[in-house]
A and B are shown apart, each in its own frame.
Chain A
Amino acid sequence: MKPASFDYYAPTTIDDVMALLKRHGSDARLLAGGQTLLPMMNFRLATPEVIIDLNRIPELAFIREAGRQVHIGAMTRQRALEFSAVIARDLPLLHEAIKMVGHLPTRSRGTIGGSLANADSAAEIPMILQVLEGEVLVRGPNGERTIPAAELVLDAMTTSLAEDEMLAEVRFPTMPKEASFAVEEFSRRHGDFAIAAVAAMLVMKDGLCEKARIATAGVSPFSSRLRAAEEALEGRPVDPDAIERAGEAAAAAVEPVSDRNASEEYRRHLTKVLTMRVLKRAADPSKPH
């Protein structure tokens, strides 16, 4: 299974990337970590005429604390996120979820930007972007724009990026110190894409849930926040009743896909079960972080 032939460019600046995208348009594909694109090319399911390799642009890989945010360059390796003290401290939910992304050797090359731009339905990083209400910075021929999490993904594997745009940076608000969180994934084997995954972050105040953020992966064509489930918790104590109702609301809110891995009904069922398990863990004050 060998890829078809292509012209290869390895630009060293973002401006060079923009010029190449302008010149080649839809004939070109951006190569980030390659953990998704190369397999497709080896199968010849993707046969780009031009490959623009982003791995030579140092300015695209960084992890920075910026006030009450964490800024991450699109080409930052998942492995770097896994071992980053900044991520562990400021975005502990991302720190936990990143270990579910593939395996250590794929995280050596896979990038956060690549995962977000690919927008696979069952990928964990897009789910975390939703829960943490992150945003992405996109570079285009006319400069830069920001896309909030809620507007990034339109459909399975389809983002709102234009053909001549490149995802350059991801920004997350630092998680509140008092936030509790959990993520659970159900897959056939460890490291596989999720059949269903749920991630949640809760901010409690005076025994009541002040803020709840819940999203899924693997269930629907793309990750989005489950507002109905969040509303079932906000303003209330997170007790077994509330958790049950949130689980049911989550199951009702999703539009599950049916495929060879799981039926619609089963995904809906998993959504409820995993939502309840995640919320139970997040609500448990004795849970170690």
Chain B
Amino acid sequence: MSDADGFIGKSVLRREDRRLLTGKGEFVADLKLPGMLHATFVRSQVAHGRIKSVDLSRALESPGVVYAIAGPDLAKLLPPVPDTQLSLPRKWATRVQHKFLNPQQPLLAHDKVRHVGEAIAVVLAESRYLAEDAAELVTVDIEPLPAVVDPELGLGVDSAILHEQYDTNVIGDFEVAKGDVEASLAKAPHRMKRRFYHHRYAAIPMECRGVAAAHDERTDTITVWSACQVIHWLRREASTVLKMPEARIRCVALDVGGGFGVKGHVYPEDLLIPFLAREVGRPVKWLEDRHEHFMSACHSRDQTHDVEFGFDGDGHLLAFRDEFIVDCGAWNPIGSGIAYNTAVHLPGPYKFDHFSVRSRIVVTNKVPNAPYRGAGRPEATFAMERVMDLIAVELGLDPAVVRMRNMIPHSEMPYHLGIPYRDGEPIVYDSGDYPESLRQALAAIGGLEAFRERQRQARAQGRFLGLGLGCYVEGTGVGPFESATVRIDPSGKIYLAGGACPQGQGMETIFSQIVADTWKVDPKDVVVALADTSAISIGFGTIASRSTVNLSGAIYNASQVLQKKVFAIAANLMECSPVDLELRNGAVGLVGVPGKELPLARIAKAAMPGWENTRPEGVSAGLEETAYFQPPTVTWAYATHAAILDVDVELGRIEIEKYVIVHDCGVVVNPMLVDGQIHGGAVQGLGGALLEELTYDSEGQLLVGSFMDYLVPGASDVPHMELKHMHYPSPLNPFGVKGVGEGSAIAPPVVIANGVCDALSHLKVEFNATPIKPEQIARAVWS
């Protein structure tokens, strides 16, 4: 029975849990198909080189091997990954000066290898064990070329070129600006320059990638199961590569063990595995192992920013100019996405008129760079939030005070930023109160003055406490669209199919809450089908904190149309006017007359086509509606993170004494789930700040191959976090929601940097790069 208050806003426990808690989930690794073969890849151990030959002969003789193919032969059969993931909306393209080159990655390397880990050949065998035995017998002859490892050196005229059809390693270049930065810098009372570096790290979900495929000869259709966040994209690309209509391809994501963006685009393996299944006539499964994951699943971040900023004596930021380079790795699957996100998120919650940013995306001989939780925003926030603290230190002001002075006041919302978002629309911070989030964060750490007093006293006793602040705004719910099909089942239950692809967010639960409130049913009476191209034929997928916004909007749009129809049919049956009807308790009832109602099952029956139908004139058969929600533009979430750090200067170790997050994602559908997203993102952010690092040597050898090298934070490494919520509803979608999936990963790196600098302010040290490691702190102190 539905509560009068509805289900949105309630911490409904998750329906996903039962199967996941009892070992009955189904991840792609669990899929077993009759006659299934196991694939393993032969991957380059060289960062850059020309492939002279690949010898598969010994592998083909190895026990249990059924098939093997290498890049040079595959290139004759299949095109590279299609161009269509690199989308530049026309509106954006006409507003932003840009130049992009798009080298398209072949499904297996054939002419050159361009990073350690790039796949050169694939072997299919009866078991993964046997496939790995065979893969060891493949010999590859590669003529090494100099590796491009430093993107700045990659800009040089003498640099080796990765993609020789171009004469450059710069595959993306754009500029965005407002006001007159040069003039403003020239006359600013204070002017400073700094370089900020946000290092390379990655999503590293606990489930690696995986793809299985089967070709059904009877219907000439292919089913692809992939641990993927964008199964409709996969179908589109597979259609091109396999030369089959989308109608003959079904793409499904089963349970996905974390995505965080790294599973948010179509990889070569996603297209090669279905090809092999069709070619060999047996189902094929490939499971990426962890060692492979580090060298072939996309990395992220890795940006160098050269910032110059001007400010006045009161700490008002006047001008901000940034030239930054993205170390893109060998390929660029998502095009400008990350870099442009960075560019427009630089201004943050601050009010200033003169801004310019130029970004260059540079290829290097490393694993390709693709979005990871935050997708360019952590890098931007790092730069601007360090600038806020640097201004404060320069002027002897409190960093919190400098931020307050610069923040867009609530009275000026909605605020027009003056530059376009990547959908091409002018950025408008639609709702929120940034100064209030900072005020609440400061209150939550016990008050600014009280902390400064504690800090003074502690320092006198040789203890070093620091306050780290990180404020950001975040464009969420980006378009172009999401799709929903809403159908009233003959049982009276509501069926929802949508284009979203969950990876742990609890979507089955939250969308059942939304449908429940929309139709006045219990969430248990909502059947949810996601991540399946057979359930809904057009869809977009889950990236960029967009699914709650966009799928809820699509549900609303579909339901609006469907409800009109339901009321028309009910009115006909109840001999009244549709305006006298309301939805209640899984039925349509006469307003003010309890008991006079028809259950939805009855309406569904009445809507059936056929001779005995009881539909009114002009109402078509069936009770199903598919609709799309195309958001006008992004809706802006925001937060302030504040932390009190205790720095052990002898060891260089940081203890996080307190970590608070004041967060606004508008209307909250399920508070418990939103909190879970915030916890998870913040811990990933702390991991990036302190522990996680993907490093290469000067020859392009990846120095990280296991969890011994890549330090994912454990429960003892992160603090308890205190969460506070603000709720400015979004005016841009029917439910007033904003995205929350990525946000809390944005601030932690700069919170740590600012906190350490604050703790050691007596030494006037600066930490302008991540990660921040104990040895760096110890050295800063002892030198």
Contact = CB atoms under 8 A, between A and B. Distances in A.
Pair from one complex: yes
Interface in A204-228: none
B128, B132, B705 — most chain A CB neighbours (10 Å): B132
Contacts of A2: 128-129, 132
A186 interface: yes
A188 B775 CA distance: 11
Contact of B716 (A43, A189, A262, A270): A189
B691 A189 contact: yes
Contact of A260 (B136, B695, B706, B774): B695
Contacts of B699: none
Interface residues of A, number: 19
Contacts of A188: 691, 711, 774
B714 A260 contact: no
Given A43-B291, A266-B779, A269-B778, A189 B711 contact: yes
Interface in A43-74: 43-44
Contacts of B775: 262-263, 266
A102 to B, nearest CB: 12
B713 to A, nearest CB: 7
Contacts of B26: none
B682 to A, nearest CB: 17
A240 interface: no
Nearest to B130: A2
Contacts of B717: 189-190
Nearest to B715: A190
Interface in B695-747: 695, 703, 705-706, 709, 711, 713-714, 716-717
Contacts, number: 45
A4 B691 CA distance: 32
B713 A189 contact: yes
A123 B718 CA distance: 24
Contacts of A44: 132, 136
A6 to B, nearest CB: 12
A184 B309 CA distance: 45
A257 B705 CA distance: 21
B714 A269 contact: no
Contact of A5 (B133, B291, B653, B703): B133
Contact of A189 (B136, B290, B651, B714): B714
- Dominant SS at the A interface? loop
Contact of A269 (B691, B703, B782): B782
Contacts of A262: 775
A1 interface: yes
Given A2-B128, A2-B129, A2-B132, A186 B779 contact: no
A149 to B, nearest CB: 27
A46 to B, nearest CB: 14
Interface string B390-417: 0000000000000000000000000000
B289 interface: yes
Contact of B778 (A1, A4, A5, A266): A266
B128 A190 contact: no
A83 to B, nearest CB: 21
A186 B651 contact: yes
B781 to A, nearest CB: 10
Contacts of B705: 43
A31 B384 CA distance: 54
A273 B782 CA distance: 12
B651 A4 contact: no
B714 A186 contact: no
Interface in B111-142: 128-129, 132-133, 136
A1 B290 contact: yes
A25 interface: no
Contacts of A1: 132, 289-291
A4 B134 CA distance: 11
Contacts of B132: 1-2, 44
Contacts of A266: 775, 778-779
Interface string A181-214: 0000010111110000000000000000000000
9 contacts: A186-B653, A190-B716, A190-B717, A191-B716, A260-B709, A262-B775, A266-B779, A269-B778, A273-B650
Given A190-B716, A192-B711, 10 more contacts: A1-B132, A1-B290, A2-B132, A186-B651, A186-B653, A189-B691, A189-B713, A191-B716, A263-B775, A266-B775
Interface of B: 128-129, 132-133, 136, 289-291, 650-651, 653, 691, 695, 703, 705-706, 709, 711, 713-714, 716-717, 774-775, 778-779, 782
